[in-house]
Amino acid sequence: MLNSRSLKSRHSTHYPNLSLERLRHVTQILQPHNQTVSSTMATPARTLEGKVALVSGSSAGLGAAIIQELSRRGATVAINYPFPSEESNAESVARSLGAASKSVIIEADISTPDGPSILANKTAEAFGKIDILVNCAGINRMMSLDDPDDSKIEDSWDAIVRTNGRGTFFLTRAALKHLSRQDSRIINIGSSVSRTPGPDSSIYAGTKGMIECYTQCWATELPRKYGCTVNGVAPGLVGTDAFYAAPQAVRDALKPIIEATPVASRVAEAGEVAWTVAMLCEKEAGWLNGLYIPVSGGSSIF
C-alpha cells in the first residue's frame, strides 16, 4: 500500500452510519446489511485487472464498499479521506483489501479550491493514469427552509454545495487530464432524493439534482473526446453506519418508506450499490451511457 497525503475529501454520507443494534428498534425489517462486500457476494473474476480506480469519499460507508468491490475485481484503487481524523479509517479500508491488492490513500477535501486537482494528480502520480472515476464524496445536513438560524442555513448551503456540487464538478474536470482514452468510466453517485425528495432536504436534494444533470450532460459531451462512458447510480436508503446513527425522528419518518419497498421491507446493503457501480465499470457495459440507475428495491422508479 502506498501512502500519499495532500488533500481532503468528505466521505459520502448518503444516509449516515450506525450499528445494527441501533437500527433494530427503528424497524424489524433489516438483516445484517452493514457487512463488507466480500462477505455478501461471491468473489468475481479479476475482470478489472490493470485498471486504476479513484473513488472520492471512500474511507467509510458506501465509498469504502465501492473500493472493496472494485479491488476484488482486480482494480488498483485510490482511497480518499477528508481530514487527519479519518486517516485510520482509510488505512483500515486499505488493509481489508488484502496483501495482494494495490492501493494508495490520499487525504483530500474536494470542497476546497485545490482539493479536486490535488486528489486527481496524486492518483496519477501513484499509478500513472485514471481509468475509473467514482464521484462518491458527499455530505448532508437536514434542515428546513424556514429554519430561524440564518447563519446555520448559510453555512450548510455553502458546505453542501461546495462538496456535492462544486467538488464533483471540479474533481471530474481535474481527472480528465489523466483519464485513459479507451474504455474509461465516470460514475456519479447521486441519490433517489433528486427525484423523490422529502421535507428538510432541499439543499441536499438540489445538489443531487445537479449531479444527475452533470451525468446527462457529460454523457453527451465526453465519450468521443475521452473514450469514456458517464453514468450515475442513485441509491435510496443504504444501511451504512451513518444511516443507523440518524436521529430517532428521522428514522421514525423513514420507517413507512422502508416497509413499503416493493422488493422487500429493508434498506439496501452498501455491497448492492457497490455491485451496480462495478457492473458499469466492466468492459461489457461499454454501451451503457447516460444512465441514472436507482438502487432502491423499487421504492424509487424512474
Instruction: List, for residues 210-230, the tens digit of each pLDDT value.
Output: 999 999 999 999 999 999 999
pLDDT in tens, 185-198: 999 999 999 998 88
**Cα diameter, the chain:** 54
Q: How far is CA 70 from CA 37, 57, 138, 266, 298, in A?
A: 10, 15, 20, 25, 25
What pLDDT score was predicted for residue 243? Answer: 85
Share of the chain above pLDDT 90, in %: 75
Query: What pTM was estimated for this model as a whole?
Result: 0.86
pLDDT in tens, 163-185: 999 999 999 999 999 999 999 99
Using alpha carbons only, give the angle 210, 216, 219 rounded to the nearest 5 degrees.
Answer: 130
Going by their DSSP bridges, the two strands 52-55 and 76-81 should be labelled as: parallel
Indicate the average pLDDT of the chain.
Answer: 88
Q: Mean pLDDT, to the nearest integer, of 255-280?
A: 95
What pLDDT score was predicted for residue 105? Answer: 99
What pLDDT score was predicted for residue 14? Answer: 36
**Residue 24: CB partners within 8 Å, gap ≥ 6?**
30
pLDDT at 2 over 80: no
What pLDDT score was predicted for residue 43? Answer: 64
Residue 241 pLDDT class (50, 70, 90 cuts): confident
What pLDDT score was predicted for residue 34? Answer: 40
* Interatomic CA distance for residues 65 and 74, integer angstroms: 14
Domain boundary assignment for the chain: 2-295
What pLDDT score was predicted for residue 252? Answer: 86
Kindly list the catalytic residues: 204
What pLDDT score was predicted for residue 26? Answer: 33
Cell of 8: 481532503
pLDDT at 32 over 60: no
CATH 3.40.50.620 fits 2-295, yes or no: no
* 49 compared with 251, residue with greater pLDDT: 49
- What does residue 66 show for φ and ψ, rounded to 5 degrees? -65, -45
